[in-house]
Structure 1
Amino acid sequence: MKKSQISCAILAALASVSVTAQQQTGPNAKIETIEVTATKRAESIQDVPVAVTALNGEALENMGIDSFQDYVEFLPNVTFQGTGPGQNEIYIRGAATTQSNIMLSSVQALQPSVAFYVDEMPVSMAGRNLDVYATDVQRVEVLPGPQGTLFGASSQAGTVRLITKKPQHDAFTAGADTNISMTKGGEMSNAVEAYFNMPLTDELAVRVAAYNDRQGGWIDNVLNQPGQGGYIGSAEVISRISGNVLSDPRAMDANRITNPDITSRTEADVVSPRNDGLVEDDFNDAIYAGARIGVSYLINENWDLLVQHTQQTLETEGVFAYDPNLEGESSTNRFQPEENTDEFGLTTWTLEGRLEKLDMVYTGGYLNREIDTLADYTGYTNGGLFSAYYVCNYGEAVAAEDERCLDPTKYYREDTTSTRSTHELRFNTTMDTPWRVTAGLFYDDQEVATIGQFNIASTEKFPAMARELKGSEGINSDGGPFPADVSFVNDITHTIEQIAVFGQLEYDLTDSLTASIGARWYQIDDEYKGSTSTVDVSRRIRAFGTLDPTELESVDLDPDAINAALDSGQLTVDDLEPDGVLSVDDTIFKFSLDWKVNDDILLFANYSEGFRPPVTNRVGGGLASNQTGKFENFRIPVYSTTDTLDNYELGVKGDFLEGILRVNATAYYSEITDLQTSRFDPTNISFLVFTDNVGDAEIRGMDADITWLATDDLVINAAFSVLDTELTRVNDELAGISAGVGSRLPYSAKFSGNINARYFFEMEEGRRGYVNGSVSYTGDRLAGMVMDAYVMEDATSLIYGTGSGLSIEDEASVYEGVTYQDANDGTFRGGRYIQDAYVIANLAVGVTNDVWKAELYIDNVFDEHAVLNIDTQQFTPKVVTNRPRTIGVRLSYDYL
């Protein structure tokens, strides 16, 4: 059985340890070959002419995976970026970009570039991949590179599949696992899992797995101490991002609440927030609890039916990032409670059978996901055109001497419901011919309905600021008024409907040479409806669909100006229907040629295409408030256009030295056209995120993994990834804001690698002992797409009284995207934060007799504090890090 969330299993699988030989030791041992369904046919992993990584359940257990942070090091060609459990996105082979912050992922986020499947059901979600606890797992398959012909839209850069264990009809089996651990400087963690498999009749069998995993925290919410690295608050920052509206912000900063001559908060010109009642050690807990039940029915000798249901709740408190301006690498300042509850129910079904010379599969599923979030939004004070309006007393009727910047404490509350239903019917030929066909139909219907409530205005200045939605009625609510402390609301429903026809033909040119061609035609209809406190989104999008002057004027848009933007190419609405539905269709292809040199060596060459559909913007067509320089006549895109990825690769899969050495390697070159990114509008409200196309990019790289049975009792696995990414074109409006031409794409290291060794030794009474050790290296990575590091550093120094101390890569002499004014020349250098390289080592020792197992392990032996992600969405950097050194014991028992 497996012992972690699905993100952990994925990360382990992506270690490129594509096979395992732990259970085959002793004389004449060979590397086990796993059967996979990467091409939607069951085949040996060494015979599939595509790059694929697969780990079976036993290998996952033997690796002792406990958490995402512990095993992030086993990712030579993949990246997970996010802010904690249930809040991560997968990137493969460097095809990465900046995603929306978690507060807006349900409203305005890019579609994933990597598809995530549970068995046959796609469960990807924009900005928040489903975090399924990986218990009772058969195997994990990872397919890097475009898989769109067989797996669809979100398979632009790869596909990850979690294959669960199914009910067995031959015998009763059961088992249980427990795990208890201690984390340096943190709380204890504990987990328990159990399963049983029971044949009820000759035709009917059931399998049940259940789990509860409490992962103790290690991040401390410390007392805010202005002047000692804590939050001070800066009128200088607030004034300049609001257009220099405060008459003397520097004087206000000099007279802030830290001035010893000020004894009352009502006397202070700048008020720093307090968090006395929220101070807590180890406050970032996570609890996974759930169960899965599967029922298998053998209808007759040719047909069988499988139905499974998984129910899970993930609850987290606190945050999983520290503030680098504070002392240590586990401290943060939070001024509002942080809570997240993520619950889902997933029901899937598969009907398999045989029709003459065809194998038929009908599979479908229904996913219902509920997300409730409460988050600290105090960082909104640090960015946004209207910060001074929300936080400070200023305006035409307020004298300069009466100016004050009030308590900046804010919060965000979200209630999101996501549903998804899919149906796929496919056929595989089984005739004894030199050709084979896989063909099918696919239908997908997704809906994300969200209500996001923001407290962004000081209640001291606006004591009763209950807001109603801009539209006449709410989509998911009654339209308001909302509670008095709520000053902005998103009420949005986003629906994506997709239909596709796909097929793949393989033809044996000779006994050893096979060619194949695959294609997928798709149509995607994207409907974005709802309102915000300031925009009737539904009506706005319909106005762009019709371009009717009366409709444009009804949403405060000038028809002549919109037509001018369309004529100049600054805006495009070609894919928008009159009813406001964004509709796209296209056909993508895949070609491959593979040569079976002999029984042990396979060479292959592939060309494949992948894509991500466009994303509608909630404030599309909005005119920039700053009408100077490059922002003159600039309007927010109505939608980001489809981005495409063309991939070319050469690969080899081989077993050598009579089956004790396996080497799989793939070299690839990818071109991305119109790469999508999420960005904020630097001249309007900075947190008003929208999607855009940054430009084009190229990716060159090589992945390789090696498995070696060094002796009868020693297994060594190694993997590495070499990666070179480059922006080759940047859209004009992003020049000087985005990293420039020739710059690297974010989040991926030029080199990553790992090595794992497992040694077995015989003991008395049929027991076996083992020692497992691993070391991994991840190189430097760049954070995000925007060159905002020096702007962030300046704000951090003013707001906290100290810098972050994080590494920065210089990429431009001047940061031109924002006309911030200071005492100098009003410009900043352009650069991005560096997520520094790190090395992590793990160690485990255990004993087993194949029925029970006991293991003592140490994860992160040298207590490395790795920089996994630098989050700048709060306008000052927060560092997501791995779990500190953790020592624990695992016990398991299987009744066979």
Structure 2
Amino acid sequence: MKSVDHRHLRRAILLAGAAAVLVGAPAAAQDAAATAAQETEAYDGNVIIVSATKRDTTIQDVPFSINAQTQEDIQRSGAVTLEDLSRNVAGLTIQNLGPGQSQVSVRGISAGQVVRDQPGVKEQVGVYLDESVISLSLFTPDIDLFDLNRVETLRGPQGTLFGSGSVGGTIRYITNQPTLGVSEGQVEANINLIDGGNMGGHLKGAINVPLGDNAAIRAVGYYTRYAGFIDAQGPGGGENVNDGERYGGRLALTFAPTDTLSITPRVIYQKIKANGFNRQEIFNLFANRFTTTRPAVQLGEREQYLLLPERFEDETFIADLTVNIGVGEHELTSVTSYINRDILVSRDASALTGSVSVDLEFPDAAVLLPSNLRDTTDLQTFTQELRFASDYDGPFQWLIGAFYSDVKRDYRQRLPTPGYDAFTDATLGAGTSAAVANGFPANSPFNSDLPFDIEQFAVFGEASYEITDSLTFTAGGRYYDFEETRTITTGGLFANGDAGVVDRTASNGVTPRFLLSYKASDNVTVNAQAAQGFRLGGVNDPLNTPLCNATDLALFGGFQDYGDEKLWNYELGVKTQGSGFTFNAAAFYNDISNLQVTLDAGSCSSRIVFNVPEAFAAGVEAEIGFEPSPGLNFNLSGSYVKSEFNSTLPGALATATGIRDGNRLPSVPEFQFSASTSYEWDMGDSATAFVNGSVQHVGSRYTQPSDQENNPRTFVHGLPFGGAPATAATTVDLLLPDYQLVNLSAGVELDSGLSFTAYVNNLFDENPLLSFDRERGGRARLGYNIGQPRTFGITARQTF
């Protein structure tokens, strides 16, 4: 009872503080002209203004490694997703698992592939929309990049100012804010064609309208049609089955009645719908080269097999309120956020269910029943942050704050398989299906309800002191206190029959950061950092024991919960700039303790997370930009990362999991490189033409740690169905090959604000293998998530 009262007290304190900010302060903190300069003029020659330290400063003056892709960078590159941008950012890796389902890692800090049915796993990279945290492990919203001021990538742990989930780094989407006294807007239209796929395109618009002298409103709306490129054989298939759409908008109002008060409420709505997934299959229980009583099938490039159509939906609503108040020579900021998300992942699980039916010796008619796995997530998140900071000239600067979050996440799985109960009772005995249902609907062999309640409270602070005109020392820390309660209820033939089992986990701790910045000259700064980051632990779901063979049950049955992941980052960097030239580089070493690793539990059709005692990630990264002559620009960025385990699990666990001293951390390339060039020139007095070209190299990766063991791997399917022998097997090299993407674009910009850009992405039609996909240890399905083929497009944009 005391702990409950304690949590309510925390909430009351922060809510009272937020109310005081709104109703008790007589003056404002955000100067309108400064806001306009920050948000609409972020790029001025080589000067980019960022707020990575929760203060406005140039990117060259931030005392740690950071990248910022500006609105102009986004538009010129034709990027429409964070994955597109990541190829130009050293050390940033995106694992594409479909719209709204990408995984982010920075500097090689990765636990491997997280999939839809691991709702308790926390993110390793925090993602923010302006001041509001929006990251949610696998399902971080795929925000539209239109009318963004910039996208900041903060490398290394950011736990002091940005909290849990920023153990590897932080991504910040910074939108253009309402601008006082300015009427402006833009409209953008696009049409594109995927080679071998269908047509896509988008229509987007933004407008800023002043409301008198002290207020302004900014509205953004967009609609995107995703072209598909995956063909599916089978009764649930068709052409271009992974097409879809995204639509939504943002509406923000800034009210600044005085020079020292600014209030900005905002609402955001977005919905993503995809009709399938970017999965290329090489084996499916119903479509493979081994069957003799069914037609043998050899699936080709960008093909899969479906008994049922698939679907993904993500509906997101965000409401936030940011208040800035000037209090003398200080600034008080309140950020209140509410997020409501409804997510549906609807998959064709016929091969999965059918593989279990084969093991249970059900008749072929039962094996062939269409089976639909439906994962739904209902998420509600409330966060409140208060911070107070110095706002004066002087050698000593400081910031203190408090943060509270309450996350309620209801996760459910259903496996509707019409007609399945009759086969269950006929094979295993009358009444079997009813006996294992545990109150769930009939003809659904697996069901689960997992409500989560996650509450977190933190206080943080950071201070810097200019020891000399050239030397500045910064120190900060964050105290966090976290509690998670999860209840699990399951039912059906494949489930354990858990009945309202409650699991709780809690942790607290302090994460410090120390920075030393030395300005060697006006154009050269050397930075050193030691910082700790953390990632909250959690509780594993029970194994689906009815599906496990004895070996897998013995190996994986003992992993119930997992603790906090922590790391120490040691970093030395240099930032240089000159006339038309910038060079930023850093070397780093991350010492990781209790790395949370996720993997498939073999035949159990379950996934678990456990802690690896020791691991590390070390490397170098560099970004160079230079303009050798007017209009000609070159940009290079690259990173080399060596990330490995320093621990070996005992006995058979090492082989089963890949947790072995010297094995690589999963999903991260050792080497990633991009180079781009652009040239622009005047066409008469009223137009400018430009051409851009880029090449990106992404090195080889493993999807899961275990993929390094016994590789190339032979998956013995062991499913004598359709005349296939029990010894049928498929051999796969699980080292995902490196790939190169070449993009070209050209266009013209008129002084009237009208511009046209034509482009081709993935010029040589590379088929990048992004991650390896398997079900039931390869007994049901094997395949890859793949990237987009060659795409042609044209974009028209009008600003006013």
Q: Separation in 2 of the partners of 1:889 and 1:448?
A: 41
Say whether the 8 Å CA contact 2:366–2:423 is kept in structure 1.
Answer: no
Q: Separation in 1 of the partners of 2:435 and 2:72?
A: 55
CA deviations over 1:193-252 (Å, ceiling 9, x no partner): 011110111112111010000011011012xxxxxxxxxxxxxxxxxxxxxxxxxxxxxx
Q: Which residue of 1 aligns with 2:207?
A: 196
CA deviations over 1:163-208 (Å, ceiling 9, x no partner): 1111111221121000001111010111000111101111121110
Query: Quick check: which one's strand share is greater?
Result: 2
CA deviations over 1:426-478 (Å, ceiling 9, x no partner): 0111243321111100001111102210247945613798769987xxxxxxx
Write the mapping of 1:285-304 to structure 2, written as runs, cut at 5 A: 285-304=243-262
Work out whether 1:855 is the aligned partner of 2:778. Answer: no
Work out whether 1:894 is the aligned partner of 2:781. Answer: no
Say whether the 8 Å CA contact 2:80–2:145 is kept in structure 1.
Answer: no
User: Alignment partner for residue 221 of structure 2, among 210, 223, 230?
Assistant: 210
Query: SS where residue 149 of structure 1 aligns?
Result: helix
Q: Which residue of 2 aligns with 1:839?
A: 740
* Unaligned segments of structure 2, at least 5 residues: 1-40, 284-297, 426-430
CA deviations over 1:791-814 (Å, ceiling 9, x no partner): 9643369789999xxxxxxxxxxx
In the superposition, relative to structure 1, how do residues 89 and 670 fare at CA in structure 2: closer, same or farther (>3 Å)? same
In the superposition, relative to structure 1, how do residues 459 and 481 fare at CA in structure 2: closer, same or farther (>3 Å)? closer
Work out whether 1:347 is the aligned partner of 2:270. Answer: no
Work out whether 1:720 is the aligned partner of 2:656. Answer: no
Work out whether 1:762 is the aligned partner of 2:775. Answer: no
User: Alignment partner for residue 795 of structure 1, among 699, 704, 716?
Assistant: 716
Say whether the 8 Å CA contact 2:547–2:605 is kept in structure 1.
Answer: no
Write the mapping of 1:438-517 to structure 2, written as runs, cut at 5 A: 438-455=399-416, 458=420, 461-462=423-424, 480-482=439-441, 484-517=442-475
The residue type equivalent to 1:858 in the other structure is: V
Superposed displacement of residue 861, structure 1: 1.0
Say whether the 8 Å CA contact 2:719–2:726 is kept in structure 1.
Answer: no
User: Alignment partner for residue 281 of structure 2, among 323, 332, 337?
Assistant: 323
User: Alignment partner for residue 698 of structure 2, among 778, 787, 790?
Assistant: 778
In the superposition, relative to structure 1, how do residues 125 and 467 fare at CA in structure 2: closer, same or farther (>3 Å)? farther
Q: Separation in 1 of the partners of 2:691 and 2:618?
A: 37
Q: Which residue of 2 aligns with 1:707?
A: 625
CA deviations over 1:574-608 (Å, ceiling 9, x no partner): xxxxxx43111000111111101111111000011
Say whether the 8 Å CA contact 2:545–2:553 is kept in structure 1.
Answer: no
Most deviating of 749-758 and 453-462: 453-462
Q: Separation in 1 of the partners of 2:742 and 2:522?
A: 37
In the superposition, relative to structure 1, how do residues 584 and 717 fare at CA in structure 2: closer, same or farther (>3 Å)? same
Work out whether 1:375 is the aligned partner of 2:347. Answer: yes
The residue type equivalent to 1:880 in the other structure is: N
Q: Separation in 1 of the partners of 2:788 and 2:354?
A: 29
The residue type equivalent to 1:654 in the other structure is: T
Say whether the 8 Å CA contact 1:443–1:499 is kept in structure 2.
Answer: yes
Q: Which residue of 1 aligns with 2:657?
A: 738
Q: Which residue of 2 aligns with 1:521?
A: 479
Q: Separation in 1 of the partners of 2:564 and 2:367?
A: 44
Work out whether 1:105 is the aligned partner of 2:128. Answer: no
CA deviations over 1:62-90 (Å, ceiling 9, x no partner): 11114566566435412222420011111
Q: Which residue of 2 aligns with 1:868?
A: 770
Q: Separation in 2 of the partners of 1:717 and 1:465?
A: 65
Work out whether 1:84 is the aligned partner of 2:7. Answer: no
Q: Separation in 2 of the partners of 1:624 and 1:458?
A: 16
The residue type equivalent to 2:741 in the other structure is: I
Say whether the 8 Å CA contact 1:391–1:408 is kept in structure 2.
Answer: no
Q: Which residue of 1 aligns with 2:516?
A: 593
Superposed displacement of residue 783, structure 1: 1.9
In the superposition, relative to structure 1, how do residues 320 and 635 fare at CA in structure 2: closer, same or farther (>3 Å)? closer
Q: Separation in 1 of the partners of 2:135 and 2:637?
A: 27
In the superposition, relative to structure 1, how do residues 387 and 584 fare at CA in structure 2: closer, same or farther (>3 Å)? farther
In the superposition, relative to structure 1, how do residues 123 and 390 fare at CA in structure 2: closer, same or farther (>3 Å)? farther
Q: Which residue of 2 aligns with 1:647?
A: 569
Say whether the 8 Å CA contact 1:621–1:638 is kept in structure 2.
Answer: no
CA deviations over 1:258-317 (Å, ceiling 9, x no partner): xxxxxxxxxxxxxxxxx33x2311111120101110001013221110011111110100
CA deviations over 1:862-884 (Å, ceiling 9, x no partner): 11111122222463432122211
Q: Which residue of 1 aligns with 2:130?
A: 119
Write the mapping of 1:520-539 to structure 2, written as runs, cut at 5 A: 520-533=478-491, 534=495
Write the mapping of 1:167-186 to structure 2, written as runs, cut at 5 A: 167-186=178-197
User: Alignment partner for residue 593 of structure 2, among 670, 673, 683?
Assistant: 673
CA deviations over 1:805-857 (Å, ceiling 9, x no partner): xxxxxxxxxxxxxxxx9879xx999x971111111111111000251101111
Q: Which residue of 1 aligns with 2:288?
A: none
Superposed displacement of residue 327, structure 1: 4.6
User: Alignment partner for residue 154 of structure 1, among 155, 165, 176?
Assistant: 165
Q: Which residue of 1 aligns with 2:10?
A: none
Q: Which residue of 2 aligns with 1:94?
A: 108
Superposed displacement of residue 700, structure 1: 1.0
Say whether the 8 Å CA contact 2:496–2:546 is kept in structure 1.
Answer: no
The residue type equivalent to 2:389 in the other structure is: N
In the superposition, relative to structure 1, how do residues 469 and 506 fare at CA in structure 2: closer, same or farther (>3 Å)? farther
Q: Separation in 2 of the partners of 1:355 and 1:467?
A: 66
Most deviating of 866-875 and 508-517: 866-875
In the superposition, relative to structure 1, how do residues 794 and 621 fare at CA in structure 2: closer, same or farther (>3 Å)? closer
Superposed displacement of residue 335, structure 1: 1.6
Superposed displacement of residue 409, structure 1: 3.9
Q: Separation in 2 of the partners of 1:586 and 1:332?
A: 47
Say whether the 8 Å CA contact 1:364–1:422 is kept in structure 2.
Answer: yes
The residue type equivalent to 2:242 in the other structure is: N
Query: SS where residue 657 of structure 2 aligns?
Result: coil
Q: Separation in 2 of the partners of 1:799 and 1:848?
A: 63
Structure 2 length as normaliser, TM-score? 0.86
Q: Separation in 2 of the partners of 1:66 and 1:729?
A: 40
**RMSD, aligned α-carbons:** 3.1
Q: Separation in 2 of the partners of 1:536 and 1:287?
A: 38
Q: Separation in 1 of the partners of 2:685 and 2:361?
A: 72
Most deviating of 699-708 and 72-81: 72-81
User: Alignment partner for residue 637 of structure 1, among 541, 559, 575?
Assistant: 559
Q: Separation in 1 of the partners of 2:625 and 2:472?
A: 27
Q: Separation in 1 of the partners of 2:554 and 2:271?
A: 48
Q: Separation in 2 of the partners of 1:703 and 1:847?
A: 34
Q: Separation in 2 of the partners of 1:348 and 1:535?
A: 41
The residue type equivalent to 2:792 in the other structure is: I
Say whether the 8 Å CA contact 2:357–2:366 is kept in structure 1.
Answer: no
Say whether the 8 Å CA contact 2:86–2:92 is kept in structure 1.
Answer: no
In the superposition, relative to structure 1, how do residues 180 and 529 fare at CA in structure 2: closer, same or farther (>3 Å)? same
The residue type equivalent to 1:454 in the other structure is: L
Query: SS where residue 461 of structure 1 aligns?
Result: helix
Structure 1 length as normaliser, TM-score? 0.77
Work out whether 1:49 is the aligned partner of 2:60. Answer: no
The residue type equivalent to 2:735 in the other structure is: I
Q: Separation in 2 of the partners of 1:121 and 1:751?
A: 32
Q: Separation in 1 of the partners of 2:84 and 2:60?
A: 29
Q: Separation in 1 of the partners of 2:73 and 2:185?
A: 19
In the superposition, relative to structure 1, how do residues 344 and 405 fare at CA in structure 2: closer, same or farther (>3 Å)? closer
Q: Which residue of 2 aligns with 1:605?
A: 528
Q: Which residue of 1 aligns with 2:362?
A: 392
